[in-house]
Amino acid sequence: MKVKVIPVLEDNYMYLLIEERSRDAVAVDAAVPKRLLDIVRREAVELRALLTTHHHWDHARGNEELARLCPGLRVFGADERIGGLTHPVTHGQELFGSIRVRCLRTPGHTSGHVCYFAWEDESPDAPALFSGDALLVGGCGRLCEGSAEQMLSSLTGVLPALPRDTKVFCGHECTVRNLKFALKVEPDNEAAKQKLAWAKVSGSAGARAAPRLPPHGPCRVRSHFGKYEKKDLKV
> Per-residue pLDDT tens for 113-126?
999 999 998 888 89
- CB within 8 Å of 168: residues ≥ 6 apart: 128, 129, 131, 135, 137, 211, 233, 234, 235
- The CA–CA distances, whole Å, from 71 to 15, 59, 65, 87, 182 equal 20, 20, 10, 15, 45
pLDDT in the model for residue 217:
39
The reply to whether 54 belongs to the active site is yes
CATH code linked to domain 2-204: 3.60.15.10
Residue 90 has pLDDT above 90, yes or no: yes
Q: CA 97 to CA 208: how far, in whole Å?
A: 32
What's the pLDDT at 96? 87
Is the Cα dihedral 63, 143, 180, 214 positive or negative? negative
Delimit the domains of the chain by residue range.
2-204
Write down the catalytic residue from 55, 59, 79, 113: 59
Residue 164 one-letter amino acid: R
Catalytic residue among 24, 29, 58, 79: 58
Catalytic site residue 232? no
Nearest to 201 by CA among 175, 225, 178: 175
Share of the chain above pLDDT 70, in %: 86
DSSP-assigned beta bridge partners for residue 16: 4, 27
Beta bridge partners of 157: none
